[in-house]
Structure 1
Amino acid sequence: MGDWQGTWKSTGGKEAPLVAQVIALGDGAYQANLLDEFDKRIPALVVLQGKEADGKVAFNGKAADGKLRGSEWTGAIEGEKFTGTFKGEPSGTFEMKKVVRLSPTLGAKPPEGAVVLFDGTCLDHWQTRDGKDSPWKLLPEEKAMEVRGGGVISRKKFGDCKLHLEFRTPFMPKARGQGRGNSGVYLQGRYEVQVLDSYGLSGESNECGGIYGCGKPIVNMCAPPMQWQTYDITFTAPRFDAEGKKIKNATITVIHNGVLVQDRTEVPNPTAAHWGGDPKEPGGLHLQDHGNPVQYRNIWIVETKGEM
């Protein structure tokens, strides 16, 4: 499972980069998306289906489109290597090695003046919707907290701000769609940046890095489950005139694992399952409980007060 990187070589001597996203599907089944490169919204060269047996995962598949259309691929993962052959026009071999690609902002320290909402030591800055203490599980060794017992919201409320947050989706290979590592980060309790194990998927507005129902991520930067990820979010609250009429929508910029996935995306209305409140007023940071044990850590906010 996870990321692989290497090359393919044709029998005619051509060599080109090749990467793979290998997704666990449960009961020993896997899918491998073979691509030209990571971190781009591009179609797969070929999608392979695999099955685990005798200490390895054997794959096969046929390229449906693109420059390798019609070629038939077979391969296997054994240990830290993913190797195989392909036949057609062209024919050749491929070899990749396991790689782990971490966000460059993992572990980012809060700057002077930041509001630290969670540093791994306590849940004091969080409450339930009705004002009770957070029921989430504290994980001291990970300096993290785990979703359980309902959503939570920060006691402090915010307007314009910059947010750093780290999260980890659970390993749920048999789950699909919105049932696979689902949570959400709601700015002001109203505007959701989705959290989901959508590793290797197309990148929709209801997947990781999406603004729910409003904006697809520029590229799907979701890491494999059980790997810590980062959101670095810039939020500008909606603006209203003296009569209370909205004159400017909220905007959200999202850097997911170091890559821009939302660029000042306008959010005209609070997104689905928001926690309400007057959009003219500041609101807390809400972390959603969608029934999956997603974990969070290293959460801090810099209040910008219209400085962006």
Structure 2
Amino acid sequence: MIKQFASGLAFTALLSMSLTSCNQAKEEKKAEEEVHNPASQTIPEESKDLLGRWDLTVDKKGTAVPSWIEIKLSGFATLVGAWVGDSGSNRPISHIKLADGKFSFAIPPQWEGGEGDFVIEGELAGSELKGTITSNTGEKYTFTGVKAPYLVREKAPEWGTPIELFNGKDLTGWKASNDKSQWAVKDGILTNAGAGANLITEQTFNDFKLSFEFRYPEGSNSGVYLRGRYEVQIEDSPKDKHPGTLFFGAIYGFLSPNEMATLGANEWQKFDVTLVGRLVTIVANGKTIISNQEIPGITGGALDSKEGEAGPIYIQGDHGPIEFRKITLTPAK
């Protein structure tokens, strides 16, 4: 009887050890399968040179228009990213396929409307990208791309002498983007009566502080582009709307303000914007709504994708009416 009892205890102990060992093995296997540490990633050889941000130039019926793409590694092998066309906002890419050195992805239309997807196909050509964009209506364009610059500044800027970009009298120092301009100066106020042309400074700038006062009617939409590439959104966004990347005070499609700081339509408002490299700070009506955040790339409607170069200030005038009464820029020395 004692021998049987001892034998039973031994069997139970062995069974317990076996189950413990089995559970440990399962846990170890599970841990191996659930590695979430990006530092442990091994970047696949075939995709490593594609990863990063690219400034694109698209040949659209003989006209060079800007575009942008970011390609990222999700997990161990899946490529995802983001894309900006010559209009609209930053759009997420759920999956970028890569085979035989060529990448491709499909993305649905945004403000373009219509059915079907846009299809982007490309490959590395030395240190550059080249490829095609086929629209959802079947039009096909070619593009080239270069790696986007980091724009890191080694030290804080020293500020120069403020420049009054608007003299309160006329459009001296500005040019319209087309012959449909509705910009005029009335009683010391720079006014855009309705959708027509954008207004662009003749001067170009690198790093700067920009202050401007503006007013818009109900339902209007405009924006101010920094270096002609990054839009600070001006829109009649409802005060009770959650802040977002498409609404008042955003860097359009990329950076969301931390609150909806608009005073509403028909009120004079003020933005104070500081741009150093890619880092932007926006103060709206006395409230800091974006603080020293990196702008990843160009926004839709940019003049070009040459991010490493100086660029103008431009005011969006092809969407709706808007007014300005003071525009002051302080450049970095």
Classify the TM-score, shorter chain: 0.5 to 0.7
- TM-score between the two structures when normalised by the length of structure 1: 0.53
Q: 2:273 — aligned with what?
A: 233
- What amino acid sits opposite 2:317 in the alignment? D
SS at the partner of 1:164?
A: strand
Partner of 1:169: 216
| Aligned counterpart, 2:223 | 184
Q: Deviations over 1:33-77 (max 9, x none)?
A: xxxxxxxxxxxxxxxxxxxxxxxxxxxxxxxxxxxxxxxxxxxxx
Check whether the contact 2:169–2:188 (CA below 8 A) recurs between aligned residues.
no
Q: Distance in 2 between matches of 1:147 and 1:280?
A: 34
Distance 2:193 2:227 in 1: 19
Residue 138 in 1 paired to residue 184 in 2?
yes
After superposition, the C-alpha distances for 1:137-166 in whole angstroms (9 at most, x for unaligned) are 324325232254211110000000000111
2:292 alignment partner in structure 1: 264
Distance 1:147 1:204 in 2: 27
Amino acid at match of 1:182: N
Higher helix share: 2
Residue of structure 1 aligned with 2:304, choices 253, 272, 276: 276
List runs of 5+ in structure 2 lacking aligned partners. Answer: 1-158
Instruction: Indicate the SS of the match to 1:167.
Output: strand
- Greater CA radius of gyration, 1 or 2? 2
How many residue pairs end up in the alignment?
173
Q: Which residue of 2 aligns with 1:63?
A: none
Identity %: 29
Residue 251 (1) aligns with residue 279 (2):
yes
Alignment partner of 1:126 is 2:174 = yes
- 1:231 Cα deviation (Å)? 0.5
- Report the equivalent of 1:117: 165
Q: Contact between 1:164 and 1:300, CA under 8 Å: does it hold in 2?
A: yes
Give the Cα–Cα distance (whole angstroms) in 2 for the partners of residues 189 and 137 of structure 1: 18
Q: TM-score, normalised by structure 2?
A: 0.49
Aligned twin of 2:205: 158
Alignment match, 1:193: 232
* 1:165-193 deviation digits (Å, cap 9, x = unpaired): 1111112xxxxxxxx21111110000111
Contact persistence 1:120–1:138 (CA under 8 A): no
- CA distances 1:172-219 after superposition (whole Å, capped 9, x unpaired): xxxxxxxx2111111000011100011312211111111111111111
Structure 1 vs Structure 2 CA RMSD:
2.0
Kindly indicate whether the alpha-carbon contact (under 8 Å) linking 2:248 and 2:262 is maintained by their aligned counterparts in 1. yes
Counterpart for residue 330 of structure 2: 302
How many angstroms apart in 1 are the aligned matches of 2:308 and 2:184? 33
Tell me the amino acid that sits aligned with residue 186 of structure 2.
P
Post-superposition offset of 1:272: 1.4
Q: Structure 1 unaligned runs (5+)? A: 1-110, 172-179, 238-249
Cα shift at 1:277:
4.8
Give the CA deviation at 1:115.
1.3
Task: Quote how far apart the aligned CAs of 1:119 are.
Answer: 3.0
Q: Is the 8 A contact 1:194 1:212 kept in 2?
A: yes
The one-letter amino acid of 1:181's match is: S
SS of corresponding position for 1:123: coil
The offset of 1:116, in angstroms, is: 1.0
Q: Deviations over 1:94-128 (max 9, x none)?
A: xxxxxxxxxxxxxxxxx982111113211011112
Question: Residues 184 and 147 from structure 1, CA distance in 2 versus in 1: closer, same or farther, beyond 3 angstroms?
Answer: farther
Check 1:112–1:280 CA distance in 2 against 1; reply closer, same or farther (3 A cut): closer
Q: Is the 8 A contact 2:212 2:324 kept in 1?
A: yes
